[in-house]
């Protein structure tokens, strides 16, 4: 019986020692920190380091919230790594051209008054037409807009007609010279690489990075260019009179000049063009006959073609 009591006491002592050791290992760091804070020295006798605030502690890994804020800041304030900027350098363009063609059917005098009396109108003969033009297209973004001055001459003589009261009226000569000031709008099609060395006619496109590390330039050439235009015409008209009786002129008459056409470039400096023209003005010939004058609206249609030189 005594032996069993002794064995139990020994087991209790051993359990107590193990429990004491575990407690010492668990609470030893806290006890050491408390000693440092109260006694001013570490267990090994060295002076303690000064306590630091959370901001002064050694840097730690950023939190998810901090990473999100940094990413937003970079997206807003950081410059893009690569930006493609396209610059179009389109030089101005000057051209000069000559043309010839035909004044065709449907032309005539309308709203006609002859010898002070209204008539049914006077038809005009078909005629040849010839002329010159010089123009200029603006540079860069306005390269589609141009201005030109042209002059042309035609002779659509007046056909015999019926005058007031059914009186037969013989024909009369008619010559009209026009000086027109036009605004031109054009398009560019069938564009491709320049056929020759870069010239003032080509379109240069530059592609650059933000740091200007690389530059790519390409000269393009657009041979097919349709266009439309309209402007003020000054008309100078002359007739030898009805039946050759009395000649008369009406000069610097303002009127309308409209046109539409297409131009095709054989090279960067030479082009062929075809063009439709419409002209309208009001002429007043005071003395075309002993019986009086002639007044009417001159209205003609023209088809022309020619060559132009661009530089």
pLDDT tens, residue by residue, 57-85? 555 666 777 777 776 666 555 555 555 55
- Per the listing, tokens 């309208």 go with 280
SS3 helix, strand, coil % of the chain, rounded to 5?
20, 50, 30
Element (H, E) at 26: helix 2-39
Query: For residues 288 and 282, what is the distance between their CA atoms, to the nearest angstrom?
Result: 16
Best CA proximity match to 226, nearest among 190, 253, 201, 200: 190
Q: In this predicted structure, what is the pLDDT of residue 305?
A: 98
- Kindly list the domain boundaries of the chain, sorted by start residue: 1-44, 89-201+220-310
State the pLDDT at residue 49: 52
Just give the CATH number of 89-201+220-310.
2.40.160.20
**pLDDT beyond 60 at 209:** no
**What's the average model confidence in pLDDT over 118-142?**
93
Contacts of 15 (CB under 8 A, 6+ apart): none
The rounded percent of the chain whose pLDDT value lies above 90 is: 43
Q: Above 50 in pLDDT, residue 132? A: yes
pTM of the predicted structure, to 2 decimals:
0.68
């Amino acid at each position: 019986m005594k032996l069993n009591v002794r064995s139990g006491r020994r087991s209790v002592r051993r359990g107590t020692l193990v429990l004491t050791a575990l407690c010492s290992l668990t609470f030893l760091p806290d006890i050491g920190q408390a000693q440092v804070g109260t006694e001013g020295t570490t267990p090994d006798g060295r002076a303690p380091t000064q306590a630091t605030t959370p901001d002064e502690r050694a840097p730690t890994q950023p939190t998810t919230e901090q990473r999100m804020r940094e990413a937003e800041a970079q997206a807003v304030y950081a410059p893009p790594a690569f930006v493609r900027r396209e610059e179009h350098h389109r030089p101005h363009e000057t051209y000069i051209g000559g043309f010839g063609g035909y004044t065709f059917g449907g032309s005539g005098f309308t709203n006609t008054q002859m010898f002070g009396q209204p008539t049914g109108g006077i038809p005009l003969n078909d005629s040849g037409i010839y002329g010159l033009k010089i123009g200029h297209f603006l540079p860069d973004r306005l390269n589609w807009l141009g201005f030109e001055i042209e002059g042309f001459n035609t002779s659509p003589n007046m056909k015999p007609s019926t005058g007031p009261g059914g009186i037969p009226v013989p024909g009369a000569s008619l010559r009209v010279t026009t000086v027109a000031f036009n605004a031109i709008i054009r398009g560019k099609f069938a564009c491709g690489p320049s056929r020759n060395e870069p010239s003032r006619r080509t379109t240069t496109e530059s592609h650059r990075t933000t740091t200007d590390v690389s530059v790519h330039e390409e000269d393009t050439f657009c041979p097919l260019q349709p266009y439309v235009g309209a402007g003020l015409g000054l008309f100078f008209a002359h007739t030898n009179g009805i039946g050759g009786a009395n000649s008369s002129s009406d000069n610097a008459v303002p009127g309308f000049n409209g046109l539409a056409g297409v131009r095709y470039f054989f090279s960067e400096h030479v082009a062929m063009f075809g063009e439709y023209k419409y002209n309208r003005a009001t002429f007043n010939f005071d003395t075309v006959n002993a019986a009086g004058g002639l007044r009417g609206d001159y209205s003609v249609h023209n088809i022309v073609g020619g060559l132009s030189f661009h530089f």
